[in-house]
Structure 1
Amino acid sequence: MTLRKAGVLLAALMALSACGAESVWAPEEAVARAAYVPEGPATVTLLTAINNRSGSGGHSALLIDGAQRLLFDPAGSWHHPNVPERNDVLYGMSPQLFGFYMDYHARETYHMVVQEVEVSPEVAAQLSRAVQEYGAVSQAQCALSISRILSATPGFESVGTGWFPYRMMNRFEELPGVRTSQVFDDDSDDNLELLQAQGRAQLYLPEEFGG
């Protein structure tokens, strides 16, 4: 097979895969009601789930703190009744709800790598538009969708595009000013019960816990 034919085949497979993504569209009033405005400067945070046994990347998500906080969680499995979603963009991620998200992903088999970088309000606004316009993402395309968005954004071109969360994480680490931390937890890998408990938990207003 020639490289040209291989490229055409890959493009066709990607298009077919994208057609299989399930579109979710929360109503406007739910999105507006849930909006959470973070304090401090605008930031972009890459979140990567790393397998504790193999060291490979299992999932990627992108947190954008701009005019409001958006969590782009392409083909993600976490959900909460108080978090409206529009095609993999989660709204209203207060510190408590973001903590729920991290607790769900960090468990006995995975830890989370958190890479935060400060950006201008203009870059945060561009990324916010990009994730909201991207559309529903198919399974196994989390890193691909995020890397496509980042590589088209000023200051993030070096991230490039690709399918692998671990590789994108390493390229993101090379950006100037990145602050990196890790989150570990020994919760069971079967986190369905945790997800259900989070859905029943009392929620607090951001000012009640200093958010």
Structure 2
Amino acid sequence: MSSSSIPKVPTPSEHEKLGREQLLALLRDVTEQRDNLLSQYEAMAFQVDESVREIAADVLDAQENARKAEACEHRAEQEATHITELSRQLDEERRKRAEISAEFARFRDAVERAPVEDPWSVLWRAVSQIVSDWVAWARAKIPPDSRFLPWFDQAVELAIAAGRLAWRLSKAVFEWAKPRVIDLWKWLKGEVARRINKE
């Protein structure tokens, strides 16, 4: 699967603009990619089954030719060698089919057991990882004996604490505002309907 088919992880500034519909679209893209991968595994298993049938038919043909060639010992030896090679190929194809079937079963089991994650959690982990990488990169640029290094570490700790506080406050504000916004919306719809009915 090409890296271009993987959905682009939004930057922190885009994260603020990202709405529920975009997150649902991102989740649909990931689900579609998973379904495509399952389809590819099933197609591979089907191709291996076809190969096994073709080789089995070749083995039967070779055995028939061996019976007809009993009068010619040299030809019989060649046919026996051919049957042995085809049997080896058949065993190899069966082994590959068993491996692919086992891998497909493991993959399907992993997909079925994998918990469905909240898109916001996935996005938050991705953004946190990107920010952590940036902080580590910036810290690596400061010489170890620099007097600014402790200040940098304190600034990072302060930013982390402020971010956690902002997250808690935003969640509290959201929980506080949610019922009020819903009530206001219902009131506005009722008011608009009442005024339309008056006209």
Shorter-chain-normalised TM-score: which range? under 0.3
TM-score (norm 1): 0.17
Indicate the structure with greater strand content: 1
TM-score (norm 2): 0.18
Over alpha carbons, which structure has the higher Rg?
2
